[in-house]
Structure 1
Amino acid sequence: MEEKYNALADKYNVPVPRYTSYPTMPYWDGTTFDCTSWEDSVRFSFEESNSGSGISLYIHLPFCESLCTYCGCNTRITKNHRVEEPYIDAVLKEWALYLQLFGDIPIIRELHLGGGTPTFFSPENLRLLISGILNHAWIHPQAEFSFEAHPGNTTANHLQTLFDLGFRRLSLGIQDFDPRVQFIINRHQSVEQVRTVTTQARSIGYTSINFDLIYGLPHQNLEGLINTMNIVAGLKPDRIAFYSYAHVPWIKPGQRRFTEADLPTPEEKSKLQEIGRSLLLSYGYHEIGMDHFALPADALFAAEMGGRLHRNFMGYTEQHTQLLVGLGVSSISDSWYAFAQNVKTLEEYLSLVNQGELPVFKGHVLSNDDLQIRRHILDIMCKQYTGWNAALIAGELSEALKRLEPLEEDGLVSLSEHGLRVTEIGKHFLRNICLCFDTRLWADKPATRLFSMAI
């Protein structure tokens, strides 16, 4: 099996989208999108779904005190904490603009704080922000509130404050415990800091703790990864995200601190991924979709077993809402029928919101074909299966089936008259399988590299 996987990993290690959306962002068609079309889409989606499933909120908090050079997120590096209150004020103004569009009280099913570093903000200011959101909303009885945190600056006061506001899920960015790796990626946290935050969170009452780990980082080697995994096993987080490092220095200049010569070779990276995955399975974790692992008692595992797993711009989630509203600089929103992204610079974001304008600057209105393909890609990513009516196969779907034939020959998928099922080894190659359905990419293949490598 290992020999077969290595051969397939070499063959399919090509630039591929991560498919947190379809169409992927480089293929959004701006010719049919403007702020009015986005507002209409939000109104329609809210009216259609709020009373049933509720809505999701993602709030981007972009500030970090130092730059982690591996990071692909939109960040603002500063040690000036006076930026907190003006930013919170702007986010609440943006929320007020969406409340006007809704025309009714929103029911919040999911709320996630991402970054940047949400724990850059003081506990008092985080309370101000979340209270300002919740004062104008109902909370769904099955609501899930989560936030990302840096182990180096997350205090017991942060944890207690957010717990009191309804947060029960915590995600800690670990990446790697190897000091050489931490130095070159400028991401420092000790084992003791991580243990302290994890222990405090559990004692307060958090029910799900996630660790983010990355393979393929500069100076990373097998010995260091195994040591990191053994430490993680001792701390036993409920969930683990084990991501491939995406080397995109043409997008993120901070990654130019190191070169490709500092990175593991493709063969070494593949080995890191396979050994890391094997260790996680040996510790009792179950593989969830792509890059995610969970203990049997965690809700993410139950969602996969129950066919309720969903994937959006925040990653995998155990709940599905039709409308996801992104607040804050560079945030992405999804009405199911359209996508929209906020402006990427802090200055422009503050200016537009303070003028009473939604700060979206680009987006995409999904066509009927987009919606059909989106369903197939979501089902493959979340259920490792997608189906179709054999009598209606035509056009782009028939082209996708032709593109899938070599993958079936390689044992990645099993095709039938009525659908596709991902094989056990095919679970390693979900992005490549989804690529076969990506009509827009195949119609306009990129002349330059847009996406990270599959492995």
Structure 2
Amino acid sequence: MMNPLIQKYNVPGPRYTSYPTVPFWDETTFSEAAWVNNLQRAFSASNTTTGISLYIHLPYCESMCTFCGCNKRITKNHGVEAPYITALLAEWNLYCDLLPEKPRIAELHLGGGTPSFFAPDQLERLLSGIFERATPTESPDYGWEGHPNNTTHQHLQVLYDFGFRRVSFGVQDYDPLVQRAIHRHQPFEQVRKVTEWARQIGYTSISHDLVFGLPFQTTNSIVDTIYQTITLQPDRISFYSYAHVPWIKGNGQRGFRDEDLPSGDQKRVLYETGRDLLEHAGYAEIGMDHFAMPHDTLFEAMQTGTLHRNFMGYTTTQTRVLLGLGASSISDVWSAFAQNEKDIDTYLDKVMAGQLPLLRGHILDDQDQFLRRQILNIMCQGQTQWHLSSWSKHEWETLSARLESFWLDGLLEYDAEGLRVHPEGRPFLRNICMAFDERMNYTQPNVGPTKTRLFSQTV
């Protein structure tokens, strides 16, 4: 039986790891000089107190996973490792030369691509170079993404020695039919082995990444995957909605047909089935698509109202400066965003020529920053507050008209002082945030083919 709310709200929409979202950045006001000025101001105001966050993109993979929409390059040539690490350190040095003092790194994340594509000694060279010009804060939060099939005990140990205490392993689904469709053979025994290694070494937060909505996925396969996952007792679980965006250049999402994917209603059943099993096993739902055990810092951040969301997803650390190194990485200093060149060769050429490898960016105006705060609150806390005077009469009437449908459907309540999402509204957090997305609504007021080509479905 079709759920009328799923049918109504399953439209293309952003995941809101930022506002404004990248397709709606205004590049006419952006320049390298403006970016550097905003970075320096944010750094000077916050490095001593909170430190900075650092994201490093490691884009290489040995094989194509046909569910993945990340920026990556497929190669078995490991000769690419050393030049790329050299470029990352060159970019880091360019930024450090712009800063008045040594950065204090509060949060550090290695993402990809496949970070474990890189040999442990190359990762050691990278991190040694990073910490030559930086120091960790008193209680840093460092994590990385490991592919169970090529993560070694040495990978885990080298990164642990640099202070990493979080690791996430990409599992996706244990069903052989699903794995074949997404070109991701992921044996349970291999996942068990790397999970046990990490626990023995001393990692305190081990996460497994699962995906719902994949081709050929059924309720039975989700149940089986969740049961196997629970036996390994990861501290966190990311239960992501599959984002079907096959139109993105370089994307591998062409290994199956659209009709092989679950419908919106079926997809929601898959999520609710997995969620119920996880909650029964003691996990708590965090924000959107995330779960954590009560001892994990992600759960604690939700309880204390300090949960944060940025380009790395949900995090327990909130800093004014997030620097992104590597091809396609995005940096964020609250008042400005900057994205690096997405093409790896262009990125390498620019950095090795002594240039910041910037592709585009956005300088946030006052309205951007106000709306960003509302969207961030909704995504992290399911509620937000404001003063009615923050809106003009036209803005308030427009927002109220957009929220009315959600209110009539019993998904939220709102008034002149704020908004609270009901439990029934949690599946539609992205849709609710779209009501506040003035950049998107102004540029493309109607859901249609153009927007479909920008974002995955919200459900």
What TM-score comes out, normalization by structure 1 length? Answer: 0.97
Q: What is the Cα deviation at residue 397 of structure 1?
A: 4.3
1:127 aligns with 2:124: yes
Q: How does 1:378-397 map to 2 (within 5 A)?
A: 378-394=376-392, 395-397=394-396
Structure-2 separation of matches of 1:356 and 1:72: 30
Structure-2 separation of matches of 1:145 and 1:204: 15
1:200 aligns with 2:204: no
1:419 aligns with 2:423: no
Q: Deviation per CA, 1:409-447, whole angstroms, max 9, x where unpaired?
A: 111111123110111111111101101000011111165
- 2:145 alignment counterpart: 148
- 1:428 alignment counterpart: 427
Query: What SS is found at the alignment partner of 2:305?
Result: coil
- 2:329 alignment counterpart: 331
Structure-2 separation of matches of 1:99 and 1:136: 7
Runs of 5+ unmatched residues, structure 1? none
Quick one: which amino acid aligns to residue 342 of structure 2? K
Identity fraction in percent: 54
Q: What is the Cα deviation at residue 396 of structure 1?
A: 2.9
Match for residue 25 of structure 2 among 10, 28, 33 = 28
Residues 324 and 392 of structure 1: is their aligned pair in 2 closer, same or farther, counting only changes over 3 Å? Answer: closer
- 1:453 alignment counterpart: 457
Q: What is the Cα deviation at residue 107 of structure 1?
A: 0.5
Structure-2 separation of matches of 1:240 and 1:89: 33
Residue pair 1:41, 1:338 contacting (<8 A) in 2 also? yes
Residues 85 and 397 of structure 1: is their aligned pair in 2 closer, same or farther, counting only changes over 3 Å? Answer: farther
Query: What SS is found at the alignment partner of 2:377?
Result: helix
Q: What is the Cα deviation at residue 17 of structure 1?
A: 0.7
1:266 aligns with 2:270: no
- 1:82 alignment counterpart: 79
Residue pair 1:127, 1:162 contacting (<8 A) in 2 also? yes
Structure-2 separation of matches of 1:7 and 1:214: 24
Q: What is the Cα deviation at residue 221 of structure 1?
A: 1.1
Q: Deviation per CA, 1:60-112, whole angstroms, max 9, x where unpaired?
A: 00010001111010111111111111100000000001001112110100000
Q: What is the Cα deviation at residue 398 of structure 1?
A: 3.9
Q: What is the Cα deviation at residue 18 of structure 1?
A: 0.5
Match for residue 172 of structure 2 among 170, 175, 184 = 175
Residue pair 1:397, 1:437 contacting (<8 A) in 2 also? no
How many pairs does the alignment contain?
452
Residue pair 1:396, 1:439 contacting (<8 A) in 2 also? no
- 1:286 alignment counterpart: 284
Q: How does 1:89-128 map to 2 (within 5 A)?
A: 89-128=86-125
Query: What SS is found at the alignment partner of 2:252?
Result: helix
Q: What is the Cα deviation at residue 383 of structure 1?
A: 1.1
Quick one: which amino acid aligns to residue 343 of structure 1? E
1:46 aligns with 2:50: no
- 1:437 alignment counterpart: 436
- 2:317 alignment counterpart: 319
Runs of 5+ unmatched residues, structure 2? none
Structure-2 separation of matches of 1:174 and 1:141: 32
Q: Deviation per CA, 1:341-381, whole angstroms, max 9, x where unpaired?
A: 10011110110000000001101100110000000000001
Query: What SS is found at the alignment partner of 2:314?
Result: strand
- 1:299 alignment counterpart: 297
Q: What is the Cα deviation at residue 148 of structure 1?
A: 0.1
Residue pair 1:287, 1:294 contacting (<8 A) in 2 also? yes
Query: What SS is found at the alignment partner of 1:14?
Result: coil
Query: What SS is found at the alignment partner of 1:160?
Result: helix
Residues 400 and 119 of structure 1: is their aligned pair in 2 closer, same or farther, counting only changes over 3 Å? Answer: same
Structure-2 separation of matches of 1:396 and 1:134: 47
- 2:246 alignment counterpart: 249
Structure-1 separation of matches of 2:8 and 2:117: 42
Residue pair 1:214, 1:242 contacting (<8 A) in 2 also? yes
Query: What SS is found at the alignment partner of 1:172?
Result: strand
Residue pair 1:67, 1:186 contacting (<8 A) in 2 also? yes
Q: How does 1:219-234 map to 2 (within 5 A)?
A: 219-234=216-231
Structure-1 separation of matches of 2:396 and 2:415: 14
1:191 aligns with 2:188: yes
- 1:216 alignment counterpart: 213
Query: What SS is found at the alignment partner of 1:254?
Result: coil
Structure-2 separation of matches of 1:322 and 1:41: 11
Structure-2 separation of matches of 1:258 and 1:397: 45
Which stretches of structure 1, 4 residues or longer, exceed 6 Å deviation after superposition? none
Q: Deviation per CA, 1:41-60, whole angstroms, max 9, x where unpaired?
A: 11111111111111000000
Q: What is the Cα deviation at residue 261 of structure 1?
A: 1.2
Query: What SS is found at the alignment partner of 1:321?
Result: coil
Q: What is the Cα deviation at residue 402 of structure 1?
A: 2.1
Structure-2 separation of matches of 1:251 and 1:392: 37
Quick one: which amino acid aligns to residue 345 of structure 1? D
Q: How does 1:357-376 map to 2 (within 5 A)?
A: 357-376=355-374
